């Protein structure tokens, strides 16, 4: 039981200290510091928006395809 607490303490200390020790890559740091005024930061912002939109677009596309197939099947079933 004591080893578990030591492990938790080391893990918590690492979580608290690592952000202070690590630094971002130069491009990320430039994008963060320039507030979207440089082409690099604009590109990073656009790519983030793109990546955030993709799951919704993919899921929405599959949902639309299933809805249209269901609607088409229902229309064909009522005509026969």
pLDDT digits (tens, 9 = 90+) for 53-77: 999 999 999 999 999 999 999 998 8
Question: What pLDDT, on a 0 to 100 scale, did the predictor assign at position 33?
Answer: 67
Question: What pLDDT, on a 0 to 100 scale, did the predictor assign at position 58?
Answer: 97
Beta carbons within 8 Å of 35's beta carbon, 6+ residues apart = 41
The tens digit of pLDDT for each residue in 18-56 reads: 766 666 666 666 666 666 577 777 787 788 899 999 999
Question: What pLDDT, on a 0 to 100 scale, did the predictor assign at position 61?
Answer: 96
Radius of gyration (C-alpha) of the chain in whole angstroms:
25
- Say how far apart CA 6 and CA 3 lie, in whole Å: 5
Q: In the structure, how many helices (H) and strands (E) does the chain have?
A: 3, 0
**Neighbour tally for 31: CB within 10 Å:** 22
Domain coordinates in residue numbering, the chain: 2-79
């Amino acid at each position: 039981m004591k080893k578990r607490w030591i492990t938790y303490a080391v893990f918590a200390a690492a979580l608290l200290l690592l952000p202070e020790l690590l630094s971002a890559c130069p491009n990320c740091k430039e994008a963060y510091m320039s507030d979207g005024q440089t082409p690099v930061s604009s590109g990073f912002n656009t790519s983030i928006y793109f990546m955030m939109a993709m799951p919704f677009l993919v899921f929405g596309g599959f949902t639309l395809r299933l809805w249209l197939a269901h609607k088409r099947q229902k229309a064909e079933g009522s005509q026969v």
